[in-house]
Amino acid sequence: MHLLGKYGARVVALVLVAGLASAALARLAPGAAADERELDPRLSAETVAAMRANEEASHNLGRFLLHYARGLAHFQLGFSQSQNAPVRELIAERGVTTIRELGIALAAALAIGAAFAIPAARFRAARVYDASCAILAGVFLSVPAALLAYVCLVLGGSATLVLALVLTPRVFLFSRNLLAQAYGATHVQMAMARGVDEFRILLFYVLAPAAGAMLAMAAATATIGVGASIPIEAICDTAGLGRLAWQAAMARDLPLLVNLTMIVALATTLAMALAEFFAPREAIA
């Protein structure tokens, strides 16, 4: 209970500070109160002056935070000028896409990564197989997510596929090392010597003890996926939270930026907290 309270307080504090910091960043960045509609040649000087005054007023940081806090009490998250829609609706719609995308990509990465890692960990003598997998993983790790997204786009792939390609090598490399250590443990060697079935060894002697670390890895991988989703969705033009974040940054859309930062902060800290909970402290910092 105490642990839950401690983690909970930390998550809440982090989310609030992240929101505040992103609001400050957005407001202080050049162009925060500028609107490209001002360049409309039809506008008279009076109208432009009035628009600028409105923009300055709506971008006052203190006023925004007060208004936002009041709205939050009624579950209102503000209105996005760049998307011309309430932030709550936008996040609800786009969140579903991103969660689905991340969920499928993470599941695929875990399944494929583990599937390749198990033989590499079990049969350490199969150097060719191990080296080939490591090289393939290395190749995918070495290509920027944005470039992978572009190539997949041209070949007809989706953002989910790109995310899976970004996450799978990481899962493979970590799983391989973890499972190799597990296979090297004395009790596993003993079980093999006694002729215990391979499948049983894998399930009860290797995966079971490593489950905590694997879950921690899954949580940490999810945070990587969240970060990678921004350039991937921006390039693949998927209507998810990543693309929304990119559009919000480009348009200096304060309400959207603050809310999205808080969501990312929440997801990241929950994942970190899960990782710390599942894994020994020394293994995962």
Partner 1 sequence: MKAWLLLLALTVASAQDELRFALHDEPKSLDPFLVADEPAEAIRYLTEGVLIRINRLSQQPEPELAQSWKISSDARHITFQLRSGLRFPDGSAFTSADVVATFEKLFDPALHSPVADTFRSEKGWPTVMALNPLSVRMDFPAPTGSMERLFDQVSIVSARAAQRPAPGLGPYVIAEHVPGVRFVLQRNPAAPRQPRIASVRIDIEQNRDLELVRFRRGEIDLIDKLTPDLFDRLNTELPGNAVDAGPTLDFEFLWFNMAQQAPLPDYKKAWFRSVAFRRAVSDAINRADLCRVVYRGHATPATGPISPANKLWYAPAPAPVFDPAAALKSLATEGFSNRGGTLRDARGNVVEFSILTNAGSKTRERMATMIQQDLAKLGIRVNVVTLDFPALIERITRSLNYEAALLGFVNIDSDPSALMNVLLSSAANHPWNPSEKSPATEWEAEIDKLMLAQAESADPRLRRKQFDRVQRILREQLPMICLLHPNALAAISARLDGVKPAASFPHTFWNFDSIAIRGLAPRNSSGTLRQ
Partner 2 sequence: MNRVRIAAIAVLATLALGALLAPVWARDSYQIQFREAPDAPPSWKFPLGTDALGRDRLTRLGYGARVSFLLAPAAALLTCLEAAVLGGLAGFAGRRVRSVVLFAADLFLTLPWLFLLIAVRACLPLNTSPEISVAITFLLLGALGWAAPARIICAAVGKLNRSDFILQARAAGCSPSRLLLRHLIPNVMPVLLAQFWIAVPVYILAEATLGMLGLGVSEPLPSLGSILRDLEGVDVIAQPWQLAPAIVLAVFAGAFQLVRPREDYSL
> Any contact of residue 179 with partner 2 (CB under 8 A)?
no
The minimum distance between CB 29 and partner 2, in angstroms, equals 4
Task: Select from 4, 151, 203, 211 the one that contacts partner 2 (CB under 8 A).
Answer: 151
Q: Which distant-in-sequence residues (6+ apart) come within 8 Å of 87 by Cβ?
A: 77, 78, 79, 80, 255, 256, 259
The amino acid that residue 10 corresponds to is: R
The single-letter code of the amino acid at 56 is E
Closest to partner 1 by CB, 78 vs 169, is 78
* Nearest alpha carbon to residue 233 among 222, 241, 223, 221: 241
Instruction: Identify what 141 binds: partner 2, partner 1, none; CB under 5 to 8 Å per kind.
Output: partner 2
C-beta of 43 vs 276, nearer to partner 2: 276
- Is 262 within 8 Å of 87 (Cβ atoms)? no
Which structure tokens are listed for 171? 């899962």
Distance of CA 159 to the CA centre of its chain: 13
Residue 86, judged by CB atoms within 10 A of its CB (0-12, 13-18, 19+), counts as middle
- Taking CB under 8 A as the criterion, the residue among 3, 4, 12, 29 binding partner 2 is 29
Written in H, E and C, the secondary structure of 170-204 is HHHHHHHHHHHHHHCCHHHHHHHHCCCCHHHHHHH
Binding partner of residue 244 among partner 1, partner 2, none, CB under 5 to 8 Å per kind? partner 1
Identify the residue among 106, 108, 110, 249 touching partner 2 (CB under 8 A): 249
- Select from 1, 2, 5, 30 the one that contacts partner 2 (CB under 8 A): 30
Question: CA angle at residue 58 from 57 to 59, to 5 degrees?
Answer: 90
Does 31 contact partner 2 by CB under 8 A? Answer: yes
236 binds, among partner 1, partner 2, none (CB under 5 to 8 A by kind): partner 1
Binding footprint of partner 1 on the chain (CB under 8 A): 29-45, 47-52, 81-85, 89-90, 93-94, 150, 153-154, 156, 234-237, 239, 243-244, 247, 250-252
Residues 29, 31, 37: CA angle, nearest 5 degrees: 155
Q: 191 or 273, CB closer to partner 2?
A: 273
> Which one among 36, 45, 74, 282 touches partner 2, defined by CB under 8 A?
282
